[in-house]
Amino acid sequence: MEKIRIRGGRKLEGTIPISGAKNAALPLMIASILTPERLTLENVPRLRDVSLLGRILNNHGVDMTIAGKRQQTAGEASQTLHLEAADICDTEAPYELVSQMRASFWVLGPLLARCGEARVSLPGGCAIGTRPVDFHLQGLKALGAQIDVEGGYVVAKAPKGGLVGGRVTFPKVSVGATHNVLMAAAMARGQTVIENAAREPEIADVAECLRKMGARISGAGTSTIEIEGVSDLHGATHEVLPDRIETGTYAMCVAMTGGDVVLENARADLLDEPIAVLREAGVDVSETNRGLRIQRNGQALQPISVETAPFPGFPTDLQAQLMAMMTRADGTSTIRETIFENRFMHVQELARFGADISLDGELATVKGVKRLTGAPVMATDLRASVSLVIAGLAAEGETTISRIYHLDRGFERLEEKLGACGAEVERLAG
């Protein structure tokens, strides 16, 4: 099994290109189910999850080519995908596929909308909480779907004539459920209103792509989305927005190590709260015509208090990275995790570096230490894995991170991007 080895203590200097957003690319790929015509997606990151979802979609009859080739090839730039679902050959998403990636559960809404039926396994994914699918099912029921759960599968059928518009009010903000219902409602008869919808930029990006395909959607990016269903959607070309989580992660790498790095193609409007937190911690963040410039030269990191929240609040997907950064702050920080109940599994691994972190339910108290020491550590999930990279970059000596397949799910060419800025990071064969 592959590992990553880091020799810490080097400042980062240079440019890091920000890839397309994984959290937008995946639902955009799934949206291809909604039309028999070609959907072309540009700026798609080269990630393990993208490849896996391509295989899952192929199981349904979606033909995917990558820049004209059937196989993914190595390269520096993000890729262009062409997806065509001329005929849906199978409306079942089996356990052995869905269990590998939670987002694949989102095929449920598009399959219902286009084919009138679907049988989709209950999902798996990162071990960071139960993350139930109740909101997905409630939303689709509001569009007229008949839904049963049998033997670990969701069995859904649309009424005769297809899904019908309805009012969906989520008891709690859910990005996944918003994606699922939004895609289904695009082809439901009549108007659908989604209240307490997720406001994440990736939701707005998917809605923009659906509009290019002929959907009638307004309000995406706000808490109320209105959809006027259409009978058919057509092909389109869409560029995936830059990844705000990758942007925030590399910003924290620079903040942790010191240095001066331009995050090319990054967008400040996607990261208002994380940028405010970085500035509070003493990091210089400025906009340029190339993206965002991150600088920290000499001054100590200042402690902060943060609570994760749905967008536009501080993202849970940056919580582990922020915690790693705060292990070297000059004082005590607090981080409250309000989204997932089991997202502190990185704490034990950070302690192996010498970090001083205590937990009390959803609250983590991080006392900054003067030095971290390299250690062998193990990744437990996607975001936790990159928090170990951040700690390793600042630690004295050598760090080895195992189970890095988690990293490959969400970070494109991480060791190459960091290495180009002076970090000593290399991948070791298993």
What are the binding residues for phosphoenolpyruvate? 22-23
Q: Which amino acid is at 366?
A: V
**DSSP codes of every residue in 66-106:** ETTBSS----SS-EEEEEE-SS----EE-HHHHTT-GGGGG
Binding residues for UDP-N-acetyl-alpha-D-glucosamine: 102, 172-175, 317, 339
Q: Which of 89, 126, 253, 421 is catalytic?
A: 126
> What's the rounded Cα separation, in Å, for the pair 415 and 95?
32
Is residue 421 within 8 A of residue 12, CB to CB? The reply is yes
> What's the rounded Cα separation, in Å, for the pair 169 and 312?
19
Binding residues: 22-23, 102, 172-175, 317, 339
Q: Known catalytic residue: 126?
A: yes
- What's 270's DSSP letter? G
* Structure tokens given for 214: 């002929």
* Structure tokens given for 95: 């356990």
Residue with tokens 């990071």: 425
Spacing of C-alpha 275 from chain mean position = 18
> What's the rounded Cα separation, in Å, for the pair 400 and 388?
9
> What's the rounded Cα separation, in Å, for the pair 51 and 73?
11
* Structure tokens given for 3: 């590992």
Cα-based angle 305, 310, 314 (whole degrees, multiple of 5):
30
- What's 129's DSSP letter? -
Q: Among all residues, which ones are annotated catalytic?
A: 126
